[in-house]
Structure formats: C-alpha cells, structure tokens
Structure 1
Amino acid sequence: MDMFRRFVSLCLLSAVLPAMAQTKPLPEPKGRAILTVSGKIGVKNRADMAAFDMAMLEALPQHSFTTRTPWYDRPVKFTGPLLSDVLDAVQASGSTISAVAINDYKIAIPADDTRKFKVVMARLIDDKPISIRDKGPLFIVYPFDSAAELRSSTYYERSIWQLKAMEIQ
C-alpha cells in the first residue's frame, strides 16, 4: 500500500510541477512603453517590472461598453482590455492597485473591483485612440451605468486617466 501511495504521489507531482513552472512569458515592448506594472507580480519583462507598449495592450482581449461619466456631456464608448486581464498577464497577487497618472495623481484601487465590475483600461473612446489632451492614452473606467453604486465619487476617483504606472500591493 505504501508503494502505491508513492506511485500516485509521483504521478501527481509529474503532472502538476510542469504546469506550475509554465508561465506565459511577457514579451519586451517593441514600441515606447506606455504602462509599467510593478510590485507583487510573477511575470516581468524588465528587471523589476512589466512594461507594456500599446501593441501589447491591443493584443489582449478587447472589451467595450458605453456609459455616462462626469467628464463628458453624453454617453461615451470605452474600449480596451479588462484591467483584470492586464493583471492576469503579469500574474498580479496583491489586493490593492496603486495607480499613477502622468501628472503623478495617485489612487488606490481594490483589486477585487477589477473582476466585480469588469473595469476597462480604455485605449479608445468612441473607437478612436485617446490623446493625452483627452485623458489618454490609457484611462481606467468603470461601467458606471451598469450599477447605481458605481455612480459615486468613490468610483469616479478610481477612474484614473493618463495612466502611466501601477504598483500591485
């Protein structure tokens, strides 16, 4: 019986260990890096962080929603990868995202928000790239019209535009 247990354990280990060791590598950006992710991440393409150019973000699954916001006088369509997909790409393991904008505005976003609300890291507004002048090139946006609780200053403040970096804590 003891020999059988050892055999089963070895079989399980031989199946599980290769899967655990396989992490999808993150390529080095070919263009200018527009986003860096650091902190509690398992996949990096630079010494201590993951850097993304726009093409890398475009390669992730894209999602869109149209919602009203306090910043535009009409409903706007936002398109980009889910923030949760970006976090998955770097194997983020923290509970808080410290997001930083080009002007050094910083906000803490609970990592749970990314899955609970399908938060988008928008790279397009109304199907057009977002210029820096118009809150781009990246804009974290909640689907405000999908739930009444999202239409509050708490979530509006978490919708950081001109995003340049995230530290996972």
Structure 2
Amino acid sequence: MKIKSLCLASLLLISAWCANAIDAPTGKVVLTLSGNISQHNQGNSFLLDDAILNQLPQKSIQTSSPWYNKIHTFSGPSLKDVLALAGSKGKQLKLKAINDYTIVIPSSDADLGPIIARTIDGKAFSVRDKGPLFLIYPFDNNKELQNRTYFSRSIWQLVSIKAE
C-alpha cells in the first residue's frame, strides 16, 4: 500500500508539472523527445537538459549487467516519468545513441521499470563510459529481463527518443 501511495504521489507531481508550460532548457540539451508527443518546448520536440531531468523523481537500480563485472547502482529518472513528461502517446519508441545506433522498443517496456541512468555508483556517466545517459533495466529484480532481448534494449549514450 505504501508503494501504491508513493507511485500515486509521483504521478500527481508529474501531472501537475506537465500541466504547466515547460520552458525550453537553458543548459546543454542531453535528451530530445519527438514524434507522437503532446508536450513541446521547442518546435515539435521536447528538449531536456540536466536541470529538467533533476526535477523528475530520481530512481535507483542496483543490478548486474553484461557490461560490468560487478553489481552497480544506476540512478536517474524512470523512462515512464520521462515519457509522461513529454506526453508520449506512441506504441513504440525509437531510441538513438550518439553514434546513430538506433533500437526500437515497445512503449510498454516503461512498465518494466527501466531508468534513464545518469549516474553509476553516484558518479555521472562520461561519454567514454556509456554516458551521459544509459537506459538500464532492473535485470536482477526480474529474471525475465535477463536475456538478449532486454540487454539489446539497454542503449547507452542515449540522445533521443522518438514516440511512434
């Protein structure tokens, strides 16, 4: 029941925030959302900088992964919260990395609890170490996520999400 109340409180906070006009970012843009979204803060896109990402509830996932040899703690806003902020209405998401690597995932993956990690063990991701943004799933919390399908959906150096 406590978790349900926290989730409801987070949704209400995000809904209230989304109801207000969201200004264009003043800092360096780190993530661009586009496509089938209802919120725009520059043209047909929704741009996020660190300040905007900091305003969202931050989540942590402690998990092992194929990319690191030990368990790490990843932190950042949930994919679900970021999509809600932009008013995403797409059935699928096209995620793109700095090097133009692109994957397509179902929007329903947001319900599995992935986060857009900004830190690993409390330190900001560098571009050299899969940053600044890394979509990470809670692999150790759900054995069904421990397979090639979900590992391939964990895109690092994430720069854009297009809702389709």
* Fold shared, TM-score > 0.5 on shorter chain: yes
Residue of 90, 94, 100 corresponding to 1:94: 90
In the other structure, the counterpart of 1:162 is 157
TM-score (norm 2): 0.87
Bigger Rg over Cα: 1
C-alpha distance in structure 1 between counterparts of 2:146 and 2:51, whole Å: 31
Does residue 112 in structure 1 map to residue 108 in structure 2? yes
Q: CA deviation at 1:100?
A: 0.1
C-alpha distance in structure 1 between counterparts of 2:22 and 2:93, whole Å: 20
Residue identity matched to 1:52:
L
Does residue 65 in structure 1 map to residue 61 in structure 2? yes
C-alpha distance in structure 2 between counterparts of 1:126 and 1:43, whole Å: 32
Residue identity matched to 1:103:
N
Task: Report if aligned partners of 1:26, 1:89 keep a CA contact under 8 Å in 2.
Answer: no
Number of aligned residue pairs? 147
1:40-55 matches, within 5 Å, as 40-55=36-51
Q: CA deviation at 1:58?
A: 1.2
In the other structure, the counterpart of 2:116 is 121
In the other structure, the counterpart of 2:13 is none
User: Relative to total residues, which structure has the larger strand share, 1 or 2?
Assistant: 2
Runs of 4+ off more than 4 Å? none
Q: CA deviation at 1:147?
A: 1.2
Residue identity matched to 1:95:
K
- The percentage of aligned residue pairs carrying the same residue is 43
Residue identity matched to 1:145:
D
Q: CA deviation at 1:25?
A: 2.0
Residue of 129, 142, 151 corresponding to 1:147: 142
Q: Kindly provide the CA deviation profile for residues 110-144 of structure 1, in whole angstroms up to 9, marking residues without a partner as x.
A: 111101x1110000100110000000000000000
Q: CA deviation at 1:155?
A: 0.2
Residue identity matched to 2:53:
L
In the other structure, the counterpart of 2:7 is none
C-alpha distance in structure 1 between counterparts of 2:163 and 2:20, whole Å: 19
C-alpha distance in structure 2 between counterparts of 1:160 and 1:91, whole Å: 22
C-alpha distance in structure 2 between counterparts of 1:76 and 1:25, whole Å: 36
C-alpha distance in structure 2 between counterparts of 1:119 and 1:70, whole Å: 16
C-alpha distance in structure 2 between counterparts of 1:30 and 1:82, whole Å: 22
Task: Report if aligned partners of 1:119, 1:141 keep a CA contact under 8 Å in 2.
Answer: yes
C-alpha distance in structure 2 between counterparts of 1:108 and 1:151, whole Å: 18
Residue identity matched to 1:108:
V
Q: CA deviation at 1:80?
A: 0.2
